[in-house]
Amino acid sequence: MEREAQSNFGERLKETAVRPQVLWAVIAVLLITVVVMGVLMPQQTSGDDRIAATVNGDPIMKDELFDMMYAQGGKEILDQLITRQLIIQEAARLGVEVSEEDLDEEINKIIDESFMGSEEEFLMILDQYGVAIEVFREDARLNMLAREIAMAQTDFTDEDGREFFEEHRHLYEQQEEVEARHILVETEDEAEEVALLLDEGEDFVELAAEYSTDSSNKDDGGYLGFFARGRMVEPFDEVAFSLEVGELSEPVETQFGYHIIEVLDRREKEELGYEDVSEQVMEAMADEQVSIILNELLPELYEQADIEYMI
Query: Is 50 exceeded by the pLDDT of residue 41?
Result: no
pLDDT of residue 152: 79
Res. 210 pLDDT band, cuts 50 70 90: very high
Query: Is 80 exceeded by the pLDDT of residue 69?
Result: no
Instruction: Report the mean per-residue pLDDT for the chain.
Output: 80
- Return residue ranges of the chain for CATH 3.10.50.40: 176-268
Which residues have CB under 8 Å from 192's CB, separation 6+? 251
Query: Is 50 exceeded by the pLDDT of residue 6?
Result: no
Task: Give percent of the chain above pLDDT 90.
Answer: 29
Q: What is the mean pLDDT of residues 276-295?
A: 82
Query: Is 60 exceeded by the pLDDT of residue 299?
Result: yes
pLDDT of residue 24: 42
Q: What is the mean pLDDT of residues 13-32?
A: 41
Q: What is the mean pLDDT of residues 95-120?
A: 85
- Return residue ranges of the chain for CATH 1.10.4030: 2-152
**Is the pLDDT higher at 119 or at 45?**
119
pLDDT of residue 9: 58
pLDDT of residue 172: 81
Determine the length of the chain: 311
The lowest-confidence range among 24-38, 72-86, 153-167, 269-283 is: 24-38
C-alpha to C-alpha distance for 293 and 286, rounded to whole angstroms = 10
pLDDT of residue 10: 56
C-alpha to C-alpha distance for 28 and 144, rounded to whole angstroms = 13
Fold classified for 176-268: Chitinase A; domain 3 (3.10.50)
Query: Is 70 exceeded by the pLDDT of residue 76?
Result: yes
* Residue 165, CA distances (Å) to 5, 45, 158 in order: 40, 53, 10
Query: Is 90 exceeded by the pLDDT of residue 239?
Result: yes
C-alpha to C-alpha distance for 165 and 11, rounded to whole angstroms = 32
Query: Is 90 exceeded by the pLDDT of residue 179?
Result: yes
Identify the three-state secondary structure at position 235.
helix
C-alpha to C-alpha distance for 260 and 208, rounded to whole angstroms = 10
Res. 23 pLDDT band, cuts 50 70 90: very low
274-304 vs 75-94: helix axis angle to the nearest 10?
A: 110
**Is the pLDDT higher at 170 or at 227?**
227
C-alpha to C-alpha distance for 19 and 54, rounded to whole angstroms = 44
C-alpha to C-alpha distance for 27 and 33, rounded to whole angstroms = 10
Q: What is the mean pLDDT of residues 9-28?
A: 43
Query: Is 90 exceeded by the pLDDT of residue 211?
Result: yes
C-alpha to C-alpha distance for 193 and 82, rounded to whole angstroms = 61
**Which phi and psi angles does 25 have, rounded to 5°?**
-65, -40
Fold classified for 2-152: Triger factor/SurA peptide-binding fold (1.10.4030)
Query: Is 70 exceeded by the pLDDT of residue 25?
Result: no
**Is the pLDDT higher at 48 or at 305?**
305
